[in-house]
Structure 1
Amino acid sequence: MSALTTSSDGFLLHGEPFRIISGALHYFRVHPDQWSDRLRKARLMGLNAVETYLPWNLHEPEPGTLVLDGLLDLPRFLRLAQAEGLHVLLRPGPYICAEWDDGGLPAWLVSDPDIRLRTSDPRFTDAFDRYLDQLLPPLSPYLAANGGPVIAVQVENEYGAYGDDTAYLKHVEQALRSRGVDELLFTCDQANAKHLAAGGLPGTLSTGTFGGRIDEHLAALRAHQSEGPLMCAEFWIGWFDHWGGPHHVRPAEQAAADLDRLLSAGASVNIYMFHGGTNFGFTNGANHHHTYAPTVTSYDYDAPLTESGDPGPKYHAFREVIARHAPVPAEPAPAPSRKLPPTEVRLERRAALLPYLRTLEPAVRTQDPVTMAELGVHGGHVLYRTSVPASGDGLLRFAGGVGDRAQVFVDGAPVGVLERERHDETLPVRVPEPGAVIEVLVENQGGVNYGPRIGASKGLLGPVSFQGVALHGWECRPVPTGDLGAVPFTASDAATDSVPAFHQGTFEVESPADTFLALPGWTKGHAWINGFHLGRYWNRGPQGTLYVPGPVLRPGTNELVLLELHATTGTRARLTDTPDLGPENS
């Protein structure tokens, strides 16, 4: 039996009136050694619950596998939440959006063009059912009915913005129920009549997502659902950033005033985000409305708790608001964490990328270019290589474009870049002689997480021709980044570099603490510290530093590795005590 039930105008927990005051905190965006700290700070702000999505693509990276360790040790996260006295709202998808790669749907699933995603198509629902068969048994002890902290579970996610297949929503509901999920189920949609109608499920609580116009959105919820709790399941108090755009902020006073309006109306709330965290590795998503726009590495979200876990202006403002409506712990608000003293890192060893990749065998050989999915590559980069039978000046044409960004080289020299964002399909090049080698390094910059373009192909998307003649006989090589110890670094005293290369340096740490990696003079690429993939950097901004969680560091010698895709004007990096997320939106 569900611990959380509904009355005509609110929630009951074990039969007693209860208001959910929750905050979003995605375990997979936070270093596991920091989960306890973030959960404690949630409680101290006055929250009685936390909410998290579950990324299907990480938990089941290949069909039939299940990953529940490290960054994905959800059972441990749930134990820590319960130990902190917090309830938990789970949002298992299958689709999560979350500005996350492919909206959390596995690459092996979305790469099948015949599957109709997020519908009653048995190929989709069967895959989700098999995932739940693996996922739910280890989570069962953490459901409230079994003494755990999970009091509610979401059915799908903002489905009204995508489709209207009620039979599909019913399938997801029954998939959860038939596997022992007895807790309260809810749907979540943008609070307008159309979305609520398309995404709602009779007999299941409907909740809304919105960031302002509180009275209007609550009225829309009530018009859709004549009785039961009013709940904003995503109260947007900030926003996310795209490369090349501004850093989005929302004034604390404005967000706090709207939170007060919500709570004064008797509504329950889940603050999105309480603590955003980071899109480590290759996990960021992208949008594609009029054009492709990848999301940055930081998911700070201008949240009450910053990316590095420090209370910001919203933390204190929200704590004051919550105290007017519910008990807030008497303990003082937490102070900012200690930061590493500023440190310079010299990257004195390097390995040029293209020569290194050419040594890796076997390459996948194809007559025409194939997509990353056809190569079994779910993220990162692929190098495509062939020779050109003709010489002279001409257009290199990429039928269908590239997914998502391609750097082109002729005999090892860079000659241009094509971007999905600009709908590029041609590049003028000079081929010096017949038999010259064309290489194309393609980067997957993140799968679209919202709308109909989820699962859009990556890599080279069609035939490639020069002077109108198709180029055949391709070698395809994924860029290996899982074991950086295999990279053949050698000492280098070059002050500048203009070709893609790995760079390595070391630095000393006396006592590990949070820090931020600044890369002045570097262009675009990826960074690892002690093998931990911090994410992408790009001098295009807005983001100017990468967050380095303290637990990634160790006393003594630490290693920094960069994969610089373009050029650097020097071989130094800086660890600083202050983040730079870029110029703010006005």
Structure 2
Amino acid sequence: MVVLRIRNVHKRKYILICLCIVGFIMYKNLSKPAGGWRMSRKVGLSVNMSQFTLGGESFCILGGSIHYFRVPRAYWRDRLMKMKACGINTLTTYVPWSLHQPEKGVFNFHTQLDLEAYISLAAELGLWVILRPGPYISAELDLGGLPSWLLRDGSMRLRTTHPGFTQAVNTYFDKLIPKVVPLQFKKGGPIIAVQVENEYGSFAKDQSYMIFIKEALQSRGISELLVTSDNPNTLKSGGVDGAIRSVKLQKLNQRNIQDLNAIQPNGPSMVMDYWTGGYDVWGDLHHVLPPEDMVSAVREILRRGMSVNLYMFHGGSSFGFMSGALAEPSYRALVSSYDYDAPLSEAGEYTPKYHLLRDLFSRYNKKGGSLPDMPALGYRETYEPAIMYQHLSLWDALSFTEEPFKSSRPVNMENLPANNRNGQSYGYTLYETTITSGGLLKSGDNVRDRALVFVDRNYIGLFKRKTLELAVPDGKGQRTLSLLVENCGRAHRGRDLDKQHKGLVGDILLNNTPLRDFTIYSLDMKPSFIDSLYQAPWKSLPENPSFPGFFMGRLFAFGYPSDTFVKLPGWEKGVVFINGLNLGRYWSIGPQQTLYLPGPFLNSGINQVIVFEEKEGDYKVNFEDAPDLGMAAEIQ
């Protein structure tokens, strides 16, 4: 109204311009991370003897890990606001190479993988960022986040200065690093530190490697503080000159801190990963860490004047086939849930750990004021079960895969000509050949990781890593022998990452004679394949459907869809797809009994539910309002 009273047009324009400038300044002020407006941007996160400083002011990192690739993009803001409300000042995230470069010449930084948008959102909400770009990240991902097409190189030596690996890293960093350089602290962004690789001390096969990664980051414009992160017993061999060392642990041990201080006597102490819980493997129990144990350790870390990052603050879900596996002491695949027993649950619910941390961190709030209000929780729904009304046998679905590959010998997943000659990363591979007799089938150690075996499409048995022999029944004439091999997840850590090939990795013997002349089908079950199945010859569900097979049903969600949890009692093992999206694996052996289905994955109205089941089905899928991650056991 003041502007309208001014008759002179030029004066009115002048005042409008001034108001716009003031508004812009206020907006920029509000969008800065805490304290960022007052701080000098000339000096970023720095070391002042045993303390960190940021912009010249003393600074204690109260960090928390949330992986953008494990949280639906529609929920990024909700999860980061809950982080801020807990008193955390710094977000940490890994960057998964395997997801950002699924094929050699193909890059994806869009929608769910829009890293720039995620970092910018953190800045808007007042959070600093520690970026962990790898290239190896572990993070309980298949192959530790390295793309499987690297394994097509028979001489490949991952995480070394082997030319094939460094060339691939350089190509990836040429795409990735320019996206985050403008988001660094000294350029006005929220990134205050960048981690060089991850846990290299436990691998340490190449003394030049960490120098290569450090220079690969700096030569592309990374100028903020560099850090490395290792387990206590590998701190010495994992560092690199010019980077602050930090430690990973769950139980605070005086000796661990002394070892860190001995290696880095004039530097600040930081627990880069304080593990708030743990991950789970199929066939085991659900691992939990008591809230009191967690908060007492974090309290002691802070009492000592150390900085800390909570891994995980919110775990989320390893949707699709992204879960890794343990290689030692024996192979065990990880479940799809990445709840991690973290302070914020898989579905973003507050836990007792969250409330204890919020109370503790409120005492470290420099402003002296109260923390932001805790965002309201979303509604969770129990939907009517989806009744499976259509069936498609695996054999009828084969015509919707890529053209099958003919080979005299078995070929592993990675070396198949699928996906523009980048090989197959995930899912199942079907190997078919002709036999003329029965007898003893031997797998050796060449099935990675499980194989359902069929003769003329009739199931005869299962090969696992410990099941090495199988009887093939006698029969007349030529018959088709089929092995449906599943990649259950490549090891995410260990010194044998180069050997994580999947599918059939060597000969299968029938009566001590190697099988030959295979037809090989790639069943990676990508969204494009699932979408193509809508054109397939589905049949009404018969009384005795064949397995393996696809089963289709419908979930009705009226109004604004809410989060829910998929439960499959009576089903054995397989994969669930909602509207073409792969939620992950289910397996009756547990511990995980439900799959998290976020509301944003659903449409208002009809939703297509497809289940790929290997052996046995109940023909209905339940949707419940609470998770079931299995019987709990405390982490020892």
* Counterpart residue type for residue 166 of structure 2: T
Q: Deviations over 1:202-236 (max 9, x none)?
A: 23100000011243322221111101211000001
The structure that has the greater radius of gyration is 2
CA contact (8 A) 1:66 1:135 kept: no
- Distance in 2, matches of 1:114 and 1:153, equals 30
Matched, 1:18 2:59: yes
Q: Deviations over 1:425-465 (max 9, x none)?
A: 32122132231110110011111111023241101121222
* TM superposition shift of 1:127: 1.4
- Distance in 1, matches of 2:123 and 2:201, equals 32
Matched, 1:553 2:605: no
- Distance in 2, matches of 1:125 and 1:113, equals 15
- Distance in 1, matches of 2:60 and 2:209, equals 30
Structure 2 vs 1, CA of residues 304 and 40 (structure 1 numbering), >3 Å: closer, same or farther? same
* TM superposition shift of 1:130: 1.5
> Which residue in the other structure is 1:580 paired with?
628
- Distance in 2, matches of 1:302 and 1:359, equals 40
SS in structure 1 opposite 2:550?
strand
Q: Point out the more displaced range, 111-120 or 144-153.
A: 111-120
* TM superposition shift of 1:140: 2.0
CA contact (8 A) 1:91 1:154 kept: yes
- Distance in 1, matches of 2:593 and 2:183, equals 39
* TM superposition shift of 1:359: 7.0
* TM superposition shift of 1:373: 1.0
From 510, 517, 538, give the equivalent of 1:473. Answer: 517
Q: 1:290-439, aligned counterparts within 5 Å?
A: 290-327=329-366, 329-357=370-398, 362-375=403-416, 376-390=423-437, 392=438, 394-420=439-465, 422=466, 424-439=467-482
With normalisation by structure 1, the TM-score equals: 0.96
- Distance in 2, matches of 1:361 and 1:64, equals 19
SS in structure 2 opposite 1:504?
strand
* TM superposition shift of 1:558: 0.9
- Distance in 1, matches of 2:610 and 2:244, equals 48
Q: 1:414-563, aligned counterparts within 5 Å?
A: 414-420=459-465, 422=466, 424-455=467-498, 456-479=500-523, 481-482=525-526, 483=528, 484-487=530-533, 488=536, 490-494=538-542, 497=545, 499-510=547-558, 511-563=560-612
Matched, 1:81 2:122: yes
* TM superposition shift of 1:323: 1.9
From 308, 321, 324, give the equivalent of 1:269. Answer: 308
Matched, 1:567 2:616: yes
- Distance in 2, matches of 1:288 and 1:524, equals 22
SS in structure 2 opposite 1:407?
strand
- Distance in 2, matches of 1:573 and 1:57, equals 31
Structure 2 vs 1, CA of residues 477 and 232 (structure 1 numbering), >3 Å: closer, same or farther? same
* Structure 1, gaps ≥5 residues long: none
Q: Deviations over 1:282-308 (max 9, x none)?
A: 100001112111100000000000000
* TM superposition shift of 1:497: 3.9
* Counterpart residue type for residue 621 of structure 2: A
Q: Point out the more displaced range, 165-174 or 322-331.
A: 322-331
With normalisation by structure 2, the TM-score equals: 0.88
CA contact (8 A) 2:137 2:145 kept: yes
SS in structure 1 opposite 2:284?
coil
* TM superposition shift of 1:489: 5.1
> Which residue in the other structure is 1:5 paired with?
46
Q: 1:12-51, aligned counterparts within 5 Å?
A: 12-51=53-92
* TM superposition shift of 1:486: 2.1
Matched, 1:222 2:249: no
* Counterpart residue type for residue 577 of structure 2: W
Structure 2 vs 1, CA of residues 113 and 443 (structure 1 numbering), >3 Å: closer, same or farther? same
* TM superposition shift of 1:335: 4.3
* TM superposition shift of 1:120: 2.1
* TM superposition shift of 1:85: 0.4
Identity among equivalent positions (%) equals 40
Q: Point out the more displaced range, 215-224 or 14-23.
A: 215-224
- Distance in 2, matches of 1:361 and 1:139, equals 36
Q: Point out the more displaced range, 469-478 or 210-219.
A: 210-219
Q: Deviations over 1:183-209 (max 9, x none)?
A: 1000001123xx111001123100000
Q: Deviations over 1:21-71 (max 9, x none)?
A: 010101011111110111100000000011000011111112233210122
